[in-house]
Amino acid sequence: MRRFMLSVATLAVAAMPASAQKAGTVEIGGYARYVDWDTSYQLKNYVGGGARLGVFVARNLAIEAQGSYVGPRSLLVQQDGGTVDVWSGRGLLEYNFNFKPFALIVGAGVTYNNYGGAANDLLFCSTPTCTGTTENGDVVNGFGPTYGSDTDEIGPMGLVGIRFGALSHFEIRIDGTYEYIPTVPNRLSVAPSGDHWGVNAGISVLLGSQKAKDTDLDGVPDKMDKCPNTPAGVAVDTNGCPLDDDKDGVVNASDLCPNTPAGESVDASGCSGSQRDDDKDGVFNSKDKCPNTPAGTKVTADGCPADSDGDGVGDAADRCPNTAKGETVDGSGCSACQRDTDGDGVADCNDRCPSTNAGNKVDAYGCRLLGETGSIVLKGVTFATGKATLTPNAKSVLDQAATELNKYFAEVPSLRVEVGGHTDITGSAKTNTRLSAARAASVEKYLETKGIPADRLVSKGYGPDKPVADNATKEGRAENRRVELTPLY
């Protein structure tokens, strides 16, 4: 119980700050008092009341006098109906520790208690078996204190309490008290010494406690404030000046590097070269070999753009981040075998036609297909029987072929086209080979007359060596007798 009451006395729950106490402030107050008497006194605990008068002799230091009364309903523990009036007086020296939003009070002094006015007073006996008659004529058995007439005691005391503001000059105050009685009068107890615990709870009026003016609202009165224009919300020291914990000359509120080592020169942000990171890449300037890295770029420990594949192009700009070691790359970080300049699906390193127009079908070399399949069979190109002379109908077909070849060569400037002559198996192979070569040459010369450059064409006779159909049938032999245009790589 005593520990509980002391804990209650030191609670610090408050909605408004305590008033500032300065020399000359006078405190007048009243309170309810609860006392836990020493058990040897055989008094039941009860609630009474009291008043206080204090004067602050210095800032936060006060002299205080208290007077209280408990009774007449304080019943004797072993004698129902017995009552005692207890009048008390206390003198204390108290110090107020001001916190926000309350003040902690610690005090020491002396207490004086007067006991008297018992309706059924007891005779003090030193043993349980003795009998006697009280001053009022009552005969009693047993031992205990007697309060038949006024009895006094005195001893040192201590006080711990809190105060917090309710209105401008009014404060709620709760104190816990401890009184030690070194020598107990025989009329009060059989014990040689005693102690009492108590709690006071009440209201005080502080006269002359007007809060000191604090223009910048930093918690330091203007009279003591060496920095009277501190911005709102900035933490200050006891002089009212902004805190600078690392002593670099830049106050905490503006210091982006609050742990600068002693002696380092700093900029306006409070950062030294070893702490500043101007390009915000996570590497301090002092270690940053690439101090102007673009925002958001992933960097290495030296502050330079990361280059995962080591090709000399940073990851942020590298369109081919997995280039094999040793390959030559362009500004995009891609090697020829990763790059497809014309977007035809064939890498530049394999593309013999790197400038193919978009949308064209290409072969495995990246060149536009000649015709639909990569070669053109000149159907309708016929010759005089057993000769290499072109028929009129053949010339008409070749005119159309020349137009197609001119378009092809415009798009594929590096390739040549072979004019291949083919026969069926009728007749001797030697004769057929010679005839197919002559017919191919005849087609080549005609195409040259239609504007095809001679250096882009070459003719060759294959005879019956490359059939495309079955020579056992008339239809198959007709297909095998043909002139075919094929790109040369």
**How high is the pLDDT of residue 52?**
97
What pLDDT score does 125 carry? 43
Domains (range + CATH), the chain: 2-207 (2.40.160.20), 294-339 (no CATH), 376-488 (3.30.1330.60)
Cα dihedral 75→79→82→85 (10° resolution) = -50
In this prediction, residue 479 has a pLDDT band, given cuts at 50, 70 and 90, of very high
Q: What is the predicted pLDDT for the residue at 325?
A: 73
**pLDDT level of residue 274 (50, 70, 90 thresholds):** low
Residue 17's Cβ-count burial label (10 Å; 0-12, 13-18, 19+) is middle
Inform me whether the pLDDT recorded for 126 exceeds 70.
Answer: no
pLDDT higher at 225 or 486: 486
Name the β-bridge partners of 377.
484
For the segment 394-423, the average pLDDT, to the nearest whole number, is 89
> 3-state class of 446 per DSSP?
helix
Cis peptide before 101 (omega within 30 of 0): yes
Average pLDDT over residues 326-349: 73
Per-residue pLDDT averaged across 136-156, rounded? 61
Q: Higher-confidence residue: 447 or 331?
A: 447
Average pLDDT over residues 393-412: 89
Say if residues 420 and 439 touch (Cβ distance below 8 Å). Answer: no
pLDDT, mean of residues 236-250: 79
For residues 222 and 133, which has the higher predicted lDDT (pLDDT)?
222
pLDDT at 150: 65
Q: What is the DSSP letter of 243?
A: P
pLDDT of residue 1: 46
Helix (H, G, I), strand (E, B) or coil at 161: strand
* pLDDT for the residue numbered 390: 92
Worst-scoring range by mean pLDDT, 147-156, 314-323, 390-399? 314-323
Instruction: Provide the pLDDT for residue 350.
Output: 74
Please give the average per-residue pLDDT across 111-124, as a whole number.
Answer: 64
Q: What is the pLDDT of residue 54?
A: 95
Predicted local confidence at residue 130, as pLDDT: 43
- The per-residue pLDDT for 315 is 67
Distance CA 343, CA 331 (A): 18
- pLDDT of residue 381 exceeding 80: yes
Hunting for tokens 């000649």 — which residue is that? Answer: 370
Residue 120, pLDDT > 60, answer no
Q: Which residue has the higher pLDDT, 7 or 100?
A: 100
Mind listing the pLDDT tens digit for each residue in 76-85?
Answer: 544 444 567 8
pLDDT for res 316: 67
Q: What is the mean pLDDT of residues 393-421?
A: 89
The letter for the amino acid at 407 is K
Higher pLDDT, 3 or 462: 462
Average pLDDT of the residues of the chain: 79
pLDDT computed for residue 156 by the predictor = 97
Lowest mean pLDDT among 20-34, 116-130, 398-412: 116-130
Task: Please tell me the predicted confidence (pLDDT) of residue 74.
Answer: 47
Please report the pLDDT score of residue 136 as a whole number.
46
Bigger pLDDT: 267 or 56? Answer: 56
Over residues 190-211, the pLDDT tens digits come to 678 889 999 999 999 988 765 6
391 has a pLDDT exceeding 80 = yes
pLDDT attached to residue 336: 61
Q: What is the pLDDT of residue 180?
A: 97
Single-letter code of the amino acid located at 372: E
Is the pTM of the predicted complex or chain greater than 0.85?
A: no
Contacts of 388 (CB under 8 A, 6+ apart): 435, 438, 439, 441, 442
Identify the pLDDT of residue 177.
97
Per-residue pLDDT, averaged over 246-271, amounts to 76
Give the tens place of pLDDT for each residue, 461-475.
Answer: 999 999 999 999 999
- Give me the pLDDT at residue 56, please: 93
| Listed range (143-147, 182-186, 216-220) with the worst mean pLDDT | 143-147
Judge whether residue 121 has pLDDT over 60.
no
Share of the chain above pLDDT 70, in %: 77
| Whether pLDDT at 19 is above 70 | no
How far, in Å, CA of 311 to CA of 321, rounded?
A: 9
Look up residue 12 and give its amino acid.
A
HEC profile of the chain:
CHHHHHHHHCCCCCCCCCCCCCCCCEEEEEEEEEEECCHHHCECCEEEEEEEEEEEEECCEEEEEEEEEEEEEEEECCEEEEEEEEEEEEEEEEEEEECCCCEEEEEEEEEEEEEECCCCCCCCCCCCCCEEECCCCCEEECCCCCCCCCEEEEEEEEEEEEEEECCCCEEEEEEEEEEEECCCCCCCCCCCCEEEEEEEEEEEEEECCCCCCCCCCCCCCCCCCCCCCCCCCCCECCCCCECCCCCCCCCHHHCCCCCCCCCCCCCCCCCCCCCCCCCCCCCCHHHCCCCCCCCCCCECCCCCECCCCCCCCCCCCCCCCCCCCCCCECCCCCECCCCCCCCCCCCHHHCCCCCCCCCCCECCCCCECCCCCCCEECCCCCECCCCCCECHHHHHHHHHHHHHHHHHHHHCCCCEEEEEEECCCCCCHHHHHHHHHHHHHHHHHHHHHCCCCHHHEEEEEEECCCCCCCCCCHHHHHHHCEEEEEEEC
Q: Which of 13-27, 215-229, 257-271, 304-318 has the lowest mean pLDDT?
A: 13-27
Rounded to whole angstroms, the Cα distance separating 399 from 395 reads: 6
